[in-house]
Amino acid sequence: MNFHKKILTGISFLLLFVVSVFWLMGCSRATAKDKVTLVNNEKDQKVEVFVNGKPFTSYIYSDKIDVLKKPVLYPLRTANGTKITRYYPLEQRAGERVDHPHHIGFWLNYGNVNGFDFWNNSNAIPPERAPRMGVIRHRAIKSMKNGEQGILEIVADWIAGNGKKLLTENTRFVFSGDKNLRIIDRITTLTALDEKVNFTDNKEGFVAIRVTRALEHPTDKPIKLSDASGKVTDVPVLDNTGVTGKYYSSEGKIGTEVWGTRAKWVMLSGIVEGEKVSVAIFDHPDNVGYPTYWHARPYGLFAANPLGQKIFSKGKEELNFALNPGESVTFKYRVVIRSGETTPEQMEALYNQFVK
C-alpha cells in the first residue's frame, strides 16, 4: 500500500512539475524582452554587441589597426544579420569601392578642429600632411550594462597632430532591437581642455555611416573597385546591377536632392542580399545646428553635419562653433536599421518616439 502511495505521489509531483514548466514557458513567451549583451574582447580591442545572441555590431577601439584613426562601430547589421556597412578597408570583398579609407562603419569626428583634420586621417595620408591631422584615441570603458538595452559608456581623447589633447569625449551608446529593428543611440559630450577649441565651418563631418555597395545610388561615373583579394581595378563603365539605394528626408527631398539640405532625419532605403532594408539617422532638437545639414553622397557616405553650414547654404550661413576652456557640448543621435518595406511616414513615427 505504501509502495502504491509513493508511486501516486511521485506521479503527482511529476505532473505538477510538467504543468509548471509549461506555464513558465508560456509566461516567458508572453513577457520576454529582446535582451542585449555586450562582450569586451580585450585581445582584439573591441566590444561585441549581441541582440538575443545574434551579432549586431562591435565598438572597435583598437590602436593596432593602422587605418583606424578613431573608434568606430563596425559592421552594422540588420535584425536578420545582413551587413549594411562597407567592408573596405577593414575587410576585403569583391565589387566594393576603395575610395576614402577613412570612411569606416559608423563614426563621429570633424574636418577642422583648431586647424587639425580629424575627418580625413588614415594610413593613406602622405607623410607631409600627417602633422595637420588629428586622431581620436579610446582611453577607457567607463561602464557596460546588459539587459533590455545594452549600454556602453566610453571616454576618448581628441589629439592634434602635434600631440596636444584638445578635447575629452564622453560617449554613451545605447543598443536595442526587436525582430525587425536595430537601434543605436549615440550621446556624445565633447569638453574643451586648456585652450579654446574652434570647430571651423567645414563640410567634412560629423556623424556618419559608410554603406555597402547595394545601398549606393546607381551611377554611370567611372570608379575604382576591389576584387575579392583586394586588388584595385579601374572601372570606366559601372555595372549598377544590385545597386538600389535611395535617400528620403523628413522634408520630402528624395535621392540626390537630399545632399546639402536641412532635415530632422534622413532615411536610405534599398535591397541588400535580397533583404529590403532602411537605415536612418535622426537628429535631435537639442543639438547645435538643428535641423542639421546632410552630407549624403550617392557613393555611400551618409552623414549629418550640423557644424559645417557654409558650403551647404552656398555661403548664406556660416557657423564656426567654439568651446572655451572647460566648456562642453552634447550631441544626441539615433541610428535606426529596419528590415522590410519602410515608408517615410513610418520613419517619421519612429522619429517622434525618439524625440519624446
Three-state secondary structure readout of 64-81:
CCCCCCCCEECCCECCCC
- Shared-domain flag, residues 22 and 66: no
Q: Does residue 307 surpass a pLDDT of 80?
A: yes
Confidence label for 305 from pLDDT (cuts 50, 70 and 90): very high
- Shared-domain flag, residues 22 and 149: no
- Shared-domain flag, residues 71 and 174: yes
- Shared-domain flag, residues 12 and 43: no
In the chain, pLDDT over 70 holds for what percent of residues? 86
Domain that holds residue 15: 1-32
- Shared-domain flag, residues 149 and 251: yes
State pLDDT tens for residues 176-201. 999 999 999 999 999 999 999 999 99
Q: What is the pLDDT of residue 300?
A: 93
Identify each DSSP E strand in the chain by its residue range: 36-41, 46-51, 54-60, 72-73, 106-110, 135-145, 150-159, 165-177, 181-192, 197-199, 205-210, 223-226, 232-235, 246-249, 265-272, 275-283, 293-296, 301-305, 321-323, 328-339
At position 61, the amino acid (one-letter code) is Y
How many structural domains is the chain composed of?
2
Q: Does residue 247 surpass a pLDDT of 90?
A: yes
State pLDDT tens for residues 37-54. 999 999 999 999 999 999
Contact (CB, 8 A) for 238 and 216: no
Instruction: Please tell me the pTM assigned to this model.
Output: 0.87
Helix/strand number for the chain, H first, E second: 2, 20
- Shared-domain flag, residues 6 and 138: no
Work out the angle at residue 76's Cα, subtended by the Cα atoms of residues 68 and 271, and round it to the nearest 5 degrees.
Answer: 125
Size (the chain), residues = 356
- Shared-domain flag, residues 16 and 64: no
